[in-house]
Amino acid sequence: MIGDIKKRYERLKIFRWVARITSLLSIAVLLMFLFGEEFDTSKITRNQWVGFSFFPIGLVIGFIAGWKNELIGGSISVLSLLGFYFIYGLMLTGKIPSGFGFIVFALPGFLFLACGIYAYLAIGKLAEKTS
């Protein structure tokens, strides 16, 4: 039983680092988009600020939180993406943003969320049974 926990913990470590590395890559590319050209905040409308608060700001906050707690960080990132699509997209602009680019940037959030769920189910529950 102890060997099984060790194997699961090793898988979790790999899974965790994949989520962390992809989050760094995603943040780096988002920063390149943001600072690659002139960013004039005076031209951004109120509705665009709402969308911006979900994507990329909420997304990046979730990635950062995911380094400490995968479940919380992944939840923040995924909820920010959903907020971007539904609050900004549907409610404020009347259409869902097209393409898969936003989802690709949010993949580390899904990885953090899956990592947190795996840690709880595959390690946490098993450790409770052996105690």
Q: Alpha-carbon torsion 122, 123, 125, 127, what sign?
A: positive
What pLDDT is attached to residue 34?
Answer: 85
CA separation, residue 35 to residues 13, 23, 26, 57, 97 (Å): 33, 18, 14, 14, 22
CA-CA distance, 35 to 88, in Å (whole number)? 22
Per-residue pLDDT of the chain (131 residues; tens, 9 = 90+): 567 888 988 999 999 999 999 999 999 999 998 888 877 788 889 999 999 999 999 999 999 999 999 999 999 999 999 999 999 999 988 888 888 899 999 999 999 999 999 999 888 765 555 54
- Domain residue extents for the chain: 2-36+47-130
What pLDDT is attached to residue 62?
Answer: 98
What pLDDT is attached to residue 96?
Answer: 87
